[in-house]
Amino acid sequence: MEFTLRPWKEDDLESLVLYANNPKIAANLRDMFPHPYTETDGRGFIERATGHQPNNVLAIDVEGQAVGAIGIHPQTDIYRKNAEMGYWLAEPLWGNGIMTRAVVRMVDYGFKNWDITRIFAVPFETNTGSQMVLEKAGFILEARFEKTIYKNGQFLDELVYAARRNTWKGPVPKLAI
């Protein structure tokens, strides 16, 4: 399935709320991603997502509709050579390889646009889909922190996957970008 990564725009609000308002998506993201997901939440997100140059949070667009988000969040202070990546995709599109290809494109975009040497992502232990996405995209599991996340009334392990500029090769060979 074809998709593009592009900046968010105000008229994405309807599709953003439609797809983001899903408890299965919220269950795999930080608590700052609410459920239910309202128009007020969407307006705030779009305002934040369009406030940086270069854009660090992009819409995943399928057939002209925003169906997910992916972002690079440069860190500060002693972590200034690192950036965290976060993402989500509309549930009807899961399993089509979109997210793995979006992650690869975003890593290339991140290394091109920021003076960083490492991009990392921190999926929960229960989010095996995200772990597979990162592994297929060429990320390496660097660490597992036991029971550091408290989400929905339970403690979960936090996994740290990373891609490093000096060793970035992109996806595993079978993946067509």
Locate the domains of the chain by residue range: 4-167
**Exposure pattern of 21-32 as b/e (b: 16+ CB <10 Å)?**
bbeebbeebeee
**DSSP state letters, 10-32:** GGGHHHHHHHH--HHHHTTS-TT
Nearest to 84 by CA among 120, 130, 123: 120
Confidence label for 176 from pLDDT (cuts 50, 70 and 90) = very low
**47 CB-side CA count, 13 A:** 6
Confidence label for 169 from pLDDT (cuts 50, 70 and 90) = confident
Name the pTM for this structure.
0.93
Give me the mean pLDDT over the 38-45 stretch. 98
**Residue 93 φ then ψ, to 5°:** -105, 0
- Tell whether omega for the bond before 7 is within 30 degrees of 0, i.e. cis: no
Q: Cα separation of 6 and 60, whole Å?
A: 7
Give me the mean pLDDT over the 163-168 stretch. 94
Nearest to 10 by CA among 49, 60, 54, 36: 49
Q: pLDDT (tens digit, 9 = 90+) per residue, 74-130?
A: 999 999 999 999 999 999 999 999 999 999 999 999 999 999 999 999 999 999 999
CATH domain 4-167 topology = Aminopeptidase (3.40.630)
